[in-house]
Amino acid sequence: MLDYPNNISEFEERFATEDACRAYLFKLRWPDGFICPRCSTNKVWQQTDGLYRCKSCDYKCSLTSGTMFEGTRKPLLLWFQAIWYIVSQKNGASAKNIQRILELGSYQTAWAWLHKIRRAMVRPVRDNLSGLVEVDETFIGGKKPGKRGRGAEGKILVGVAVEDKGDEGIGRIRLGIIPDASASSLNEFVIERVNKGSIIRTDNWPGYNGLKTVGYERCVIGRKDLKLVHLVVSLLKRWLLGTHQGAVSHEHLSYYLDEYTFRFNRRTSKHRGMLFMRILENAVTIKPISYKKIVKNIRGKKPSNHKI
Q: Which residues bind Zn ion (CB under 5 A)?
A: 36, 38-39, 54, 56-57, 59
The closest of 276, 280, 285, 275 to 25, measured between CA atoms, is: 280
What is the smallest separation between the CB atom of 93 and Zn ion, expressed in angstroms? 39
- Spatial separation of the C-alpha atoms in residues 136 and 185, rounded to whole Å: 12
Indicate the residue among 7 and 56 with the shorter CB distance to Zn ion. Answer: 56
What is the smallest separation between the CB atom of 49 and Zn ion, expressed in angstroms? 18
The closest of 212, 160, 156 to 179, measured between CA atoms, is: 156
Indicate the residue among 36 and 194 with the shorter CB distance to Zn ion. Answer: 36
b/e map 136-149, b = 16+ CB within 10 Å: bbbbbbeeeebeee
What is the smallest separation between the CB atom of 69 and Zn ion, expressed in angstroms? 21
What is the smallest separation between the CB atom of 59 and Zn ion, expressed in angstroms? 4
Indicate the residue among 59 and 85 with the shorter CB distance to Zn ion. Answer: 59
β-strands 60-61, 156-164: how paired? unpaired
Indicate the residue among 44 and 240 with the shorter CB distance to Zn ion. Answer: 44
Sheet order of strands, 60-61 included: 44-46, 52-54, 60-61
Indicate the residue among 39 and 289 with the shorter CB distance to Zn ion. Answer: 39
What is the smallest separation between the CB atom of 55 and Zn ion, expressed in angstroms? 8
β-strands 52-54, 44-46: how paired? antiparallel
Indicate the residue among 45 and 107 with the shorter CB distance to Zn ion. Answer: 45
Q: How remote is the C-alpha of 100 from its chain's centroid?
A: 23
What is the smallest separation between the CB atom of 43 and Zn ion, expressed in angstroms? 8
Separation in Å, CA 59 to CA 50, 56, 179: 14, 8, 44
- Spatial separation of the C-alpha atoms in residues 240 and 249, rounded to whole Å: 11
What is the smallest separation between the CB atom of 60 and Zn ion, expressed in angstroms? 9
- Cα dihedral sign, 108-110-253-238: negative
What does the CA dihedral 272, 273, 278, 284 come to, rounded to 10 degrees?
Answer: 140
Indicate the residue among 54 and 87 with the shorter CB distance to Zn ion. Answer: 54
